[in-house]
Amino acid sequence: MLHERTITELRLGLENGEFSAEELTRHYLSRLEGPSQDINAFITVTGNIALERAKKSDIDRSKGHAGPLSGIPIAHKDVFCTRGVRTSAGSLILDKFIAPYSATVVEKLEQAGAVMLGKTNQDEFAMGSSNENSHYGPVLNPWDRTRVPGGSSGGSAAAVAAGLCAASTGTDTGGSIRQPSSFCGVTGIKPTYGRISRWGIIAYASSLDQAGPITQTAEDAALMLEVMAGHDPKDSTSIAAGVPRYTDSLANPIKGLRIGLCQEYFDEGLDATTGKLIMEAVAVLESQGAVISEVSLSTTRYAVPAYYVIAPAECSANLSRYDGVRFGHRCENPKDLDDLYKRTRSEAFGNEVKQRILVGAFALSTGYYDAYYRKAQQVRRLIRNDFQEAFKTVDLLLSPTAPTPAFRIGEKSDDQVAMYLQDIYTISSNLAGLPAISIPAGIHGHLPTGLQLIGNYLDEARLLNVAHQYQLQTNWHKLSPPAGGTA
């Protein structure tokens, strides 16, 4: 089936004339209209726009002007502004917002010929680890519809896993590409902070947010990243560095590569079966010549508390613009400006967003700034230094992506600490700004489990190389969810 093919395979089929971009797009759109979409992965489907772009792609190809992703059907997380299309960030407050411009990432992918099928569901303003915090309802995990797909990019990961698009964009603030990729059995990479432009991406925490692709394979992720990455003068945090051809280094052997296993990531919080699957993956890499050793990242235990001071502080500042005055939802018949602000924000923000705004405002308030926010930023520097010390002896780090497979919907809703700890292995790389990737590494009962690789700054090529070499030796990335999911 066409939707089971990777981007690499679809490109070959388009080049050989096996099918047209229009035929491919109609195939995916038919899936979005059928039972495959009952997982609630999409907020908006842009069928007419997709068909127009697919037809243009076929014309360009006939003239010899095909781009690197010409005719490939993709989706965007609904936090990426898309000109003329609703961009909601999963929130009521932006339910009717039509973006007047497109994010740099959206423009780059469009210029490369990709066909946008629509916008995927997500936790509101990317705040969550389960995709249960969306105004549009929770996304269901295609492997088991009683379970979460992970968050906040759960719609993107679920859509790729269910064959509703060939690839999707996501954002990762504390693990929001990698954790849902693990829960849904797909590949997701968070590049170095600043490697991909944030311009046009609705902000959660500006010093942590980073866009990245979610795909079936590391090879596909490399193709997407080659297009998405690059310096953007419109983004002051964008890195002014050239973008390698990531696909050129995929075939490099990994013999002699030094891989560190962080002791703190294999603690009592790790599910035993998940840990066993990760160690089996380590054995595969070792059989290919990788040299495995243990390292210690002693600041790991401080990552979650530091993150949940810094991220809410930044979110409280970023979300102050949603006041009912300039755009978005506005309460009816406000008595005065104060009433307008209060009722608009009370009505249109969900509980998780309200909680994080309150925590962030408290951390930044007079008398508490030094005790909380400044201290958290100091811890952040220690975490970064910890990683840099580890990279003196190893080339990359390996760990589980999440401590457990996907949990049941509602299972952790009343336990915020348990929910936040789902990101315990992913948050540190966001605080340090390091690149990291999650790839499928086994089946836990009937649910996928992800392996995480963390690299040094701008070392995405090595991460993709190792991930690709692992996938050449295993078939976990080729597995698809059972029809209808498993209860």
Residue 294 CB neighbour total at 10 angstroms: 10
Q: Select which of 57, 70, 77, 190 is catalytic.
A: 77
Sign of CA dihedral 72, 82, 173, 454: positive
* Helix H or strand E encompassing 427: helix 427-432
Show the tokens assigned to 86.
Answer: 């609703």
Identify whether the C-beta of residue 273 lies closer than 8 Å to the C-beta of residue 240.
no
Identify the three-state secondary structure at position 236. Answer: coil
CA distances from 276 to 115, 197, 404, 436 (A): 40, 37, 12, 21
d(CA 209, CA 190): 10
The answer to whether 152 is a known catalytic residue is: yes
Cα–Cα dist 42/427, whole Å = 26
Pairing of strands 167-172, 73-77: parallel
Rounded Cα–Cα distance for residues 411 and 148 (Å): 9
By the 8 A CB rule, do 340 and 323 touch? yes
Q: Are 102 and 85 in contact (CB under 8 A)?
A: no
Candidate list 20, 134, 176, 428, residue with the active-site label: 176
Instruction: Decide if 238 is catalytic.
Output: no
- Counting DSSP H helices and E strands in the chain, the numbers are 15, 11
Which amino acid is it at 430? Answer: N
Contacts of 26 (CB under 8 A, 6+ apart): 51, 54
Distance CA 129, CA 18 (A): 40
**Residue of 409, 436, 372, 391 whose CA lies nearest to 179:** 436
Catalytic position from the list 57, 70, 152, 156: 152
Yes or no: say if 190 and 430 are a contact pair by the CB < 8 Å rule: yes
Closest CA to 209 of 433, 479, 480, 447: 433
- Which amino acids are annotated catalytic? 77, 152, 176
